[in-house]
Structure 1
């Protein structure tokens, strides 16, 4: 076998919005499926949220090196996984479909380095409120039940409304762009933020008490 055939494919960079991130996600999914694990089972074993696993596999979530290690440690085919402590890459994964190693470098070495400025908890809640509060208000209006979701008037939905504080005005209407932004923010959010959003959705879905 020639030196060219021995050389790994890549190296690919694992970072948000890169082709390497999608390449890494494809191999993670292949490893998970060959390990007989569902996304939820892998998430439970690795101690992460299932949306994090699904985001990685779609190429929408870019894990740090520190978070990728416990994830890959759950896979059965450990002979396909090789971490390099002293370069020239961070990780080499064997792709069984092409019978070749694939090299990866992680842009973020520790958790949080991949996070974009607009992906924090406040940004997530703001984006969620732009979509959810108008929809909840519309539903209440159609059913003729309960008080307004946001007392400050139409279109004034924000994370402050969700948290019970003052509502600054925001643009009315909900479009595809708003939904897309919510999905991107949720994919980049950490476990604590996702838990807060889940609680928000549960509380918002209960509606008023009509038993009396």
Structure 2
């Protein structure tokens, strides 16, 4: 099967993503080498931690333009967690930080009212999806109500309803997955989402766009 490059910019547990793809039979490699990323058939951008740190890490690794080039090339691209958030215009996590500007929208903190409802922040654990792009190949076999695993204190508020592939509710309705053209991205962690997550990764591995 085709090689999948998982971008290493020191922001996340990349090995768990790699192991999930390998369990499905895919040749997946963790790499910070721009040449390897540019030559891969598919590319994954994970991310764990603060938005600003992740953007800075990508820039320090010299991979910001590499990511933009992969997206522009039309090859299948998967963003995970902060890797999804960075595709939007900006984040208000610990200040204001510019993202990659691929999608219109921003990353905001869950409102304080959630805590008053005895809902914990970060939003951590299992929650259900509401599928919006029901015919998207990466969501094949994934249905409304399927459970996936989240870990985040900030959420994406998309300004373009057309890119929302799935939503989730946690006090507010937020973008759980975004997609357009060759890009698919998830706020949740598919590598931690058991059967549903592995189905999504398998669909991505098979995706021809």
Which TM-score band applies after superposition, normalised by the shorter structure? under 0.3
Q: TM-score, normalised by structure 1?
A: 0.26
Q: TM-score, normalised by structure 2?
A: 0.26
Instruction: Return the structure number with greater helix share.
Output: 1
